[in-house]
Structure 1
Amino acid sequence: PVEFTEATPAGGIYETSEPDGELLYFPGGMRYALKHGLGARPRWHQVYLSFESDGTRRGGTLAHAAGNQAEVTCVDDQHLIVMNDSCSEYWLRVVAGGADVADEGAAGGEDSAASAAGKCYGDDDPAPADP
Structure 2
Amino acid sequence: GGIYETSAPDGELLYFPGGMRYALRHGLGARPRWHQVYLSFESDGTRRGGTLAHAAGNQAEVTCVDDQHLIVMNDSCSEYWLRVVAGGADVADEGAAGGEDGADEGAASAAGKCYGDDDPTPADP
Same fold (TM over 0.5): yes
Quote the RMSD (CA, aligned, Å). Answer: 8.0
* Residues in 2 aligned to 1:50 and 1:63: alpha-carbon distance in whole angstroms: 7
Q: Say whether the 8 Å CA contact 1:110–1:116 is kept in structure 2.
A: no
How much has 1:27 moved relative to structure 2? 0.2
Task: Determine the C-alpha separation between the residues in 1 that align with 2:92 and 2:124.
Answer: 36
* Distance in structure 1 (CA, Å) of the matches to 2:42 and 2:100: 38
CA–CA distance in structure 1, aligned partners of residues 101 and 11 of structure 2:
37
1:92 corresponds to 2:86: no
Aligned length, in residue pairs: 121
Q: Which residue of 1 aligns with 2:31?
A: 41
| Percent of residue pairs bearing the same amino acid type | 97
How far apart, CA to CA, are the structure 1 residues paired with 2:71 and 2:56? 16
CA positional deviation for 1:121: 3.6
CA contact 2:27–2:92 (8 Å) conserved in 1 = no
8 Å contact from structure 2 (residues 40, 51) kept in 1: yes
Q: Contact (CA 8 Å) 2:27, 2:96: kept in 1 or not?
A: no
Q: Is the 8 A contact 2:16 2:80 kept in 1?
A: yes
* 1:126–1:73 CA distance, 2 compared to 1 (3 A): farther
- CA 1:35–1:106 in structure 2 vs 1: closer, same or farther (change >3 Å)? closer
1:117 offset after TM fit, Å?
A: 9.6
Q: Where in structure 2 are there 5+ consecutive unaligned residues?
A: none
Give the drift of 1:109: 33
Query: Deviation digits for residues 73-109 of structure 1, max 9, x if unmatched?
Result: 0000000000000000000000000001499999999
Answer yes or no: is the 8 Å Cα contact 1:78–1:117 preserved in 2. no
Q: Which moved more, 1:70-79 or 1:101-110?
A: 101-110
Between 1:118-127 and 1:73-82, the stretch displaced more is 118-127
TM-score by length of 2: 0.76
- Structure 1 runs of 4+ with >3 Å offset: 101-118, 121-131
Q: Normalising by the residue count of structure 1, what TM-score does the alignment of the two structures yield?
A: 0.72
The higher radius of gyration belongs to: 1
In structure 2, relative to structure 1, the CA distance for the partners of 1:118 and 1:17 (3 Å cut) is farther
